[in-house]
């Protein structure tokens, strides 16, 4: 079953007709919220609010392992994760959607693997290309058929948060090759790989990165972009669900 993870600004999908809620406790603890099962344009899908419902969890407080295991136990066979990001390069202007194809992980202290029990075999997963090609291609086709502003490819830099980055940090990330910056892409993406679930990310650029504009970043500006942009994301995901066939 196709699953969506909603980030900042997408705690609920208003166009989702809920048919069930799965309160799942995993061996890693409780997920951020119950896994919601519902219908989008007649297609059965799953939805999980990454930061809880209501939005209460900071990026470093999210139990990513419980979230991903709960989705798998609920029947997820593919995951599209939506998130709000800052733009670093010209690939990522404010208000645009980015379909990244790479990640650099700058987070620290997060539980980042399912294979840390000494009693279990040690497993190393290949993570050369962190996003599933077929799932990304399907998303690209849907984006190409829309009238939304979007970019194919780019590198997502995952930072610890919850503070925004300094201008020097954004300059460093740009030198490293990052096009966008967010706080939730890791370890979510690698946990999906460890579970064998195809995973792709759809990122809404809600502000320029630090030092990339002439004025201070304000939450009011970010929230205004989120309000309109996540409504577009919600509609796009509904259209994607209606024609996605794994």
Inter-residue long-range contacts of 133-139, CB under 8 Å, 24+ positions, other chains counted: 134/198, 134/246, 135/78, 135/80, 135/198, 135/199, 135/200, 136/99, 136/101, 136/200, 138/240, 138/244, 139/80, 139/99, 139/200, 139/202, 139/240
Backbone dihedral angles phi then psi of residue 212, each to the nearest 5 degrees: -100, 5
CA angle centred on 222, ends 199 and 185, rounded to 5°: 20
Is residue 183 marked as binding?
Answer: yes
Q: Is 51 annotated as a binding residue?
A: yes
- Rounded to 5 degrees, φ, ψ at 224 are -65, -40
In the three-class reduction of DSSP (H, G, I as helix; E, B as strand; rest coil), residue 36 is classed as strand
Largest CA distance in the chain: 54
Coil/strand/helix, residue 5: strand
8 known member of a binding site = yes
Binding-site members for substrate are: 183
Residues comprising the binding site for phosphate?
8, 50-51, 184
Residue list, annotated binding site: 8, 50-51, 183-184
């Amino acid at each position: 079953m196709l699953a969506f993870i909603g980030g900042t600004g997408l705690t609920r999908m208003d166009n989702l007709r809920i048919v069930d809620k799965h309160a799942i406790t995993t061996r890693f603890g409780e997920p951020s919220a119950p896994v919601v099962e519902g219908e989008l344009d007649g297609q059965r899908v799953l939805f999980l609010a990454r930061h809880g419902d209501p939005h209460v969890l900071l990026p470093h407080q999210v139990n990513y392992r419980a979230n991903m295991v709960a989705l798998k136990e609920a029947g997820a066979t593919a995951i599209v994760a939506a998130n709000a990001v800052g733009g670093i390069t010209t690939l990522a202007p404010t208000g645009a959607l980015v379909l990244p194809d790479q990640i650099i992980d700058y987070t620290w202290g997060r539980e980042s693997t399912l294979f840390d029990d000494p009693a279990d075999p040690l497993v190393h997963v290949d993570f050369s290309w962190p996003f599933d090609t077929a799932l990304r291609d399907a998303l690209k086709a849907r984006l190409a058929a829309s009238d939304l502003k979007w970019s194919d490819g780019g590198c997502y830099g995952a930072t610890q948060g919850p503070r925004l980055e300094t201008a020097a940090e954004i300059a460093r990330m740009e030198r490293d090759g990052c096009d966008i910056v967010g706080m939730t892409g890791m370890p979510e993406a690698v946990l999906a790989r460890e579970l064998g679930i195809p995973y792709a990310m759809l990122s809404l650029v809600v502000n320029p990165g630090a030092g990339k504009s002439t004025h201070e970043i304000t939450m009011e500006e970010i929230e205004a972009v989120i309000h309109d942009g996540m409504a577009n994301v919600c509609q796009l995901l509904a259209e994607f669900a209606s024609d996605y066939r794994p």
